[in-house]
Amino acid sequence: MWTWFYKLASPPYVYRVAAALMPWFLGLAAVTIGYGLIGGLVFAPPDYQQGDAFRIIYVHVPSAILSVTVYTIMAVASAIALIWRIKVGHAVAAASAPIGASLTLLALVTGSMWGKPMWGTYWAWDPRLTSELILLFLYVGVMSLRSAFEDPARGDRAAALLAVVGVVNVPIVHFSVVWWNSLHQGSTLVTLEGPKMQSSMLWPLLSMLLGFTLFYGAVLCIRVQGEVLQRERQSAWVREAIKS
């Protein structure tokens, strides 16, 4: 049962699997994002309160959810790498950081653009927005720390520790709308009575969420190949791998 786990610790295996999976992730991402965009921008009816401005949700919510998910994945991969000394964990963490940072930026920018018609302001120092901004700073900190070391292995470990320490921010981002009086609206999708959104609006949103996740998977596959190559440059299997 644990053999798949052991295989995942093997750099050549991860390299091959990533190369093979990438086109599938990318293709499925294209389909789901395409359906989500058409369903959300064209066919979903305008919101009775916000009109067509609500359509920003189709890029804002997926990028926001993913910004936090990717950080968590980065922190878990870092923890695995630190505890069991599995270098592939560092490769996954290093590959995930720029993707997560760009998605956090997207969430902040689209959220800001949505804030103007919805709340009348481009920014507010409210718990959710502030903690998401802190998330961006944490991503940048992890990437900067990794590249500051001359010894890449040490840089990996230092960045991994920082990623794990920073994961404290993740529940703060998620629960900020519950714990404080926030300008940002509360939970719409995950509630006790089920999603509070009508299906013609909901399905494209879920599709966009799935599409963004698949897209992250595709880009991760590409980046992780490079990260693994960098850490295993001296190994024999690399010679065969880079011929392709």
Partner 1 sequence: MTVSAWEAFWLLVQRELRLSFRRPEQLLQPLVFFLIVTTLFPLGLSLQLSLLRDIAPGVLWVAALLSALLSLDFLFKSDADDGTLEQLALSGHGLTVIVAAKTLAHWLVTGLALVLVSPIVGTALGIPVGAFATMLGSLALGTLTLSWLGAVGAGLTIGLRRGNVLLSLIVLPLAMPLLIFGAGATDRAISGTNPAGALYLLAALCVFTCTLAPFAAAAALRITLE
Partner 2 sequence: MSGGGFWYMGGYARYVWPCIGFAGVVLVWNLWSARRSLAAAKIRASRALAMAASEAR
For binding to partner 2 (CB under 8 A), which residues are involved?
A: 37, 41-42, 45-46, 51-53, 55-56, 59-60, 63, 98-99, 102-103, 105-106, 109-110, 113-114, 116-117, 215, 218-219, 222-223, 225-227, 229-230, 233-234, 238-239, 242
Q: 78 near 93, Cβ under 8 Å?
A: yes
Residue 93 CB, nearest approach to partner 1 (Å): 14
The DSSP output letter for 45 is: P
Helix (H, G, I), strand (E, B) or coil at 51: strand
CB-wise, 98 or 141, nearer to partner 1?
Answer: 141
109 binds, options partner 2, partner 1, none, Cβ within 5 to 8 A by partner type = partner 2
Cα separations in angstroms, 216 against 92, 111, 148, 150, 161: 12, 20, 26, 29, 23
Please provide residue 2's backbone torsions phi and psi, each rounded to the nearest 5 degrees: -85, -5
Helix (H, G, I), strand (E, B) or coil at 47: strand
User: Is 134 or 222 the residue whose CB approaches partner 1 more closely?
Assistant: 134
Smallest gap from residue 152 Cβ to partner 2 (A): 12
Select from 99, 156, 105, 110 the least CA-distant residue to 135.
105
Nearer to partner 2, 191 or 230 (CB): 230
User: In this complex, which beta carbon is closest to partner 1, that of residue 181 or of residue 244?
Assistant: 181
The partner residues of 47 in beta bridges, in order of sequence, read 51
Residues that bind partner 1 (CB under 8 A): 82, 130, 134, 137-138, 140-141, 144-145, 148-149, 154, 157-158, 161-162, 164-166, 168-169, 172
